[in-house]
Homo-oligomer: A and B are copies of this chain.
Amino acid sequence: MGRERRQRHGGGRRERRAGGQDAAVTKMAQPLHNLPVYELATEEGLELIHQTSMEILSEVGIAFLDDETQAILKENGVEVRDDIAYFDPAQVESLVAMAPSSFTQLARNPENNVVIGGDHLCFAPVYGPPFVHSLDRGRKEALLSDFQNFVRLAYLSPYIHHSGGTIVEPTDEPVESRHLDMVYSHIKYSDKAFMGSVTSAENAADSVRMAEILFGSDAIQESPALLSLINISSPRRLDDRMLGALKVYARARQALIITPFILSGAMAPVSVAGTLAQLNAEALAGIILTQMINPGTPVVYGSFQTNIDLQSGAPVFGSPESQLSLYVSAQMARRYKLPFRSGGMFASSKIPDAQAAYESVMVMLPAVMARVNFVLHAAGWLENGLAAGYEKFVLDCEILGMFHKFLQGLDLSPDALAMDSIRTVPPGGHHLGTPHTMEHFRTAFYRAELFDYNSAEQWQEEGSLDAAQRANKKYKQLLKDYEEPELDAAVDEELRAFMVRRKEVIRPEY
Contacts and interface: CB of A to CB of B under 8 A. Distances in A.
B451 A351 contact: no
A45 interface: yes
B406 A320 contact: yes
The complex is assembled from copies of this chain, and their number is 2
Interface stretch (A13-21, A247-255, A265-273): A265-273
Interface string A228-241: 00000101110000
Interface string A365-387: 11001000000000000010011
Nearest to A321: B445
A421 B320 contact: no
A422 interface: yes
Interface string A278-321: 10000000000000000000000000000111111111101111
A312 B462 CA distance: 14
A334 to B, nearest CB: 15
A504 interface: no
Chain A contact-residue range equals 35 or more
B467 A354 contact: yes
B430 A139 contact: no
Contacts of A268: 422, 431
Contact of A348 (B49, B265, B320, B451): B451
A88 interface: no
B273 A410 contact: yes
B405 A321 contact: yes
Given A36-B40, A39-B36, A60-B423, A361 B357 contact: yes
A360 B413 CA distance: 30
A451 to B, nearest CB: 5
Interface stretch (A96-104, A112-120, A433-441, A485-493): A433-441
Interface stretch (A68-76, A165-173, A396-404): A396-404
Given A354-B356, A358-B357, A316 B271 contact: no
Contact of A316 (B38, B395, B445, B455): B445
Nearest to A35: B40
A505 interface: no
A447 B309 contact: yes
Which of A359, A387, A406 is packed against the most chain B CB atoms within 10 Å?
A406
A235 B421 CA distance: 12
Interface in A444-491: 444-448, 450-456, 459, 464, 466-468
A63 B427 contact: yes
A352 interface: yes
A353 B354 contact: yes
B45 A410 contact: yes
Contacts of A60: 422-423
A399 B466 contact: no
B427 A235 contact: yes
A427 B61 CA distance: 9
B41 A38 contact: no
Interface of A: 35-36, 38-41, 45, 48-49, 52, 55-56, 59-63, 83-84, 131, 139, 233, 235-237, 264-274, 277-278, 307-316, 318-321, 323-324, 328, 348-362, 365-366, 369, 383, 386-387, 395, 398-399, 402-406, 408-413, 415-419, 421-423, 425-432, 434, 436-437, 440-442, 444-448, 450-456, 459, 464, 466-468
29 contacts: A36-B39, A36-B40, A38-B38, A233-B428, A235-B422, A235-B431, A236-B427, A264-B431, A264-B444, A265-B445, A269-B418, A269-B421, A270-B431, A274-B416, A274-B417, A274-B436, A277-B419, A309-B447, A312-B453, A313-B432, A316-B451, A321-B446, A348-B451, A348-B453, A351-B466, A355-B395, A355-B466, A357-B361, A358-B395
